[in-house]
Amino acid sequence: MAITTIQMREGKELVGENGQRYLLVQAMGQPNVWIAVDAATQEKLYIVKQPSDDDDMPGWPRFQHEMVMHELFKEHDAIRPQLDRIPPTSHADPPKLVLELLQTTLWDARRKREFSDAELKQVMRQILLGLQEVHQRGLVYADLKMENILLSNFVPSASSSTPSSTSPNPSKPDITAKLGDLGIVMSPMRGTVQPLAYRAPEVYFRQEITPAADIWSWGLIYCQLLEAQASFQNSGLYDELLQGNGTGFVQKELSVRRAIAKDFDLGGVRYYDGCGLEGMGREGGQWEALRRKGVGERAIGFLKWILNPVPGERPTAEQILNSEWLASTFREDATPASTSSSTITPSTTTPAHPPAQKPRKNSEPSLVTKLYNQITNTKRDRSPDSESSSQTREEQRNVRPTPLTDFGAREADAAVNVREQKGVTDRPGTARSSSVDVGTGTFLNYGGLMG
């Protein structure tokens, strides 16, 4: 039976498990995610998140899953940390997560200026470290996109950065990148997940969800950032296919599906035999298109290694982290060109104007003076919610993360069972069962209020 959840509101004070008090200040474009301030000092900012409106089954199973994932990864530097939890007070008043507030998202930062080679590698390496941790737990992140990569110490002004330099500016702190939004982290299974523009071909055509699908998403993000270096006005690979206001979700999905099949010549790859690719053509023009956009040959060689359409032949996060590419800080124009993926070997050591694009949902706000004044003043003007991407909203409706059972019933040394929920995917398939060990110490124990 569906339940009606009490919504958060401005001025409400909440008490966390550690005794800290949080004052809700402003919604972040969706009613279940708010900015809060330390109620005692009114200085430090936080994100407070509760179940979304469509997570309306008793016990909020999807949010339970997200809370368990945050508990599981709370110690990892490359994943946004859980700072506190707020227990439920009734069956209608759900638990809440208190999360670190970061400066911005990679999506918003990419629209402000291009990244230097050193910045790009630094950010992408940190993302890989987060993915490596998820994969080492036997899980798939399954929702990698620029909006879910959170940054700190990003300088938005082009005049304050050196986009063409090969090393970070010693006068500025290094950019920090972390994975955010753990709501869809899951065990490997069959089905359909991932944002349309970053979805791996094996998910599109064979409904196979494995850690290799995350690596594909990572490679496409890298590809988009390299395109932005070469031509800042480019919206990014496949992103232009999702911009039409009058185009429905299914049509957008088919458009990206066809584009991937042609760009990566999937009709000529034996792994995709029997997937209905016979009539999609065999262009294989992705790499030539990148050359026309100004992406260098060595970068293309690296991307060919990453974006292998056969998931079993795609490198792992660990292999990429140990590659010569991420260990080097060379200048593209000072390095001999080579398109061979054999040049990617393990290392012995470890603008003008932004493109016209719609604002995306789930963007972290920049910590600017205006926002701080809204928090400290007794009269706070509520800013209107930013326009949400209909494509992103529809994607989330079509994704159901694997729920967890026995949530909060025992101490953390008991494994939390992950099972398939009916309706997890929009394609037939059977999920493999697995167990997730959430570590030691006291875990959530909210009793009957959680279901």
Least confident of 156-165, 205-214, 401-410: 401-410
Residue with the bigger pLDDT between 253 and 217: it is: 217
Residue indicated by tokens 């990617």: 344
Give the mean pLDDT of 240-263: 78
Least confident of 64-68, 269-273, 294-298: 294-298
Give the mean pLDDT of 370-391: 35
Residue with the bigger pLDDT between 6 and 230: it is: 6
Name the average pLDDT for the chain: 73
Give the mean pLDDT of 191-201: 93
Give pLDDT, residue 372: 34
Q: Which of 265-269, 382-386, 443-447 has the highest mean pLDDT?
A: 265-269
Give pLDDT, residue 379: 31
Give pLDDT, residue 217: 97
Give pLDDT, residue 420: 32
Give pLDDT, residue 365: 42
Chain segment 288-341, per-residue pLDDT in tens? 878 887 888 999 999 999 999 999 999 999 999 999 888 765 444 333 333 333
Residue with the bigger pLDDT between 36 and 290: it is: 36
Give pLDDT, residue 276: 83
Give pLDDT, residue 417: 29
Q: Is 274 left (phi over 0), alpha (psi -120 to 50) or beta?
A: left
Helix, strand, coil % in the chain, rounded to nearest 5: 35, 15, 55
Whole-number Å distance between alpha carbons of 193 and 144? 10
- Could you give the domains of the chain? 13-101+402-450 (3.30.200.20), 104-343 (1.10.510.10)
Give pLDDT, residue 159: 55
Whole-number Å distance between alpha carbons of 204 and 371? 41
Least confident of 99-108, 199-208, 241-250, 353-362: 353-362
Give the mean pLDDT of 407-433: 29
Confidence of residue 286 (pLDDT cuts 50, 70, 90): confident
Whole-number Å distance between alpha carbons of 408 and 235? 44
Give the mean pLDDT of 355-364: 43
Of the chain, the percentage scoring pLDDT greater than 70 comes to 63
Which of 97, 91, 78, 126 shows the shortest CA–CA distance to 17?
Answer: 97
Cβ 271 vs Cβ 309: under 8 Å: yes
Confidence of residue 244 (pLDDT cuts 50, 70, 90): low
